[in-house]
Amino acid sequence: MFATSLPAPRLRLLCFPFAGGGASAYRAWGAALEADGIEVWPVQLPGRENRMGEPAADDLTALVRRLADEFGDDLVRLPYAFFGHSMGACVAYELAREIRRRGLPEPARVIASAHRAPHWPALGPTCHDLPRDEFVARLREYGGTPEEVFAMPDLLDLLVPLLQKDFALFERHRWSAGEPLDCPLTVLGALEDTVSAQELAGWEELTTGPFEVRMVRGDHFYLLDAQEQAIRTVRELLVTR
């Protein structure tokens, strides 16, 4: 869904969504990057958009194993990179680790966006296990969900269970120590996000390859609010490096 198919791509970019999000968040990326030879594959996780009828995953280890099964054969055919935003950053990094455990080539680059280093403990309490009304109130605090959604009970009834499972996906995950990746790792942070510079810098411990933190304008949902900026930054990382 929303994937581009190029006759002779030089690189394939797999994009992983934020909590509650789907492949449509990357709808415009394929057309924007195809001139650079980048074939964009927005990854549609179960339980959302055209996969709404499937149960959403709430175990990160099981999810990345399933993704490795599905994409493993495609990752040996040409160079590839991962981009993951918020929850998707955890999915992207853990998938890169799983791929290496299977003896497959690592990504040409992992781009982790708007999430603390996954081996650092969370600073606040978990959200996925809050009572429904408290969970909805917390969503309002985070921002990113249109206010109109909160006025539509039927839509909330669909959205809240998915979001709770997505939050559980990374909140319940227990970090397993292991060798760092060897590939380049770039972390994107937003200037108005609550993820601190220290939490972003912590990702450096997770690769022996080149590492950098880049700050972009916007808040946690800059990916949607400043889409052109996000695409431009990713293009710079994948084309000029």
- Confidence band for 201, pLDDT divided at 50, 70 and 90: very high
How far apart are alpha carbons 206 and 117 in whole angstroms? 8
- Confidence band for 217, pLDDT divided at 50, 70 and 90: very high
Higher pLDDT, 150 or 48: 48
| Cα 204 → chain centroid | 17
- 82-107 pLDDT, tens digit per residue, is 999 999 999 999 999 999 999 999 99
- Confidence band for 241, pLDDT divided at 50, 70 and 90: low
Q: Residue 137 is encoded by which pair of tokens?
A: 């109130």
- 117-147 pLDDT, tens digit per residue, is 998 876 667 777 788 888 888 877 776 676 7
Per-residue CA distances from 199 to 176, 187, 218 (Å): 18, 10, 17
How far apart are alpha carbons 15 and 3 in whole angstroms? 10
Sheet-wide strand order for 11-16 = 38-42, 11-16, 80-85, 109-113, 185-190, 211-216
Catalytically active residues are 86
Crossing angle for the helix pair 87-101 and 153-171, to the nearest 10 degrees: 40
pTM of the predicted structure, to 2 decimals: 0.91
How far apart are alpha carbons 17 and 141 in whole angstroms? 20
Q: What is the mean pLDDT of the chain?
A: 89
Higher pLDDT, 170 or 202: 202
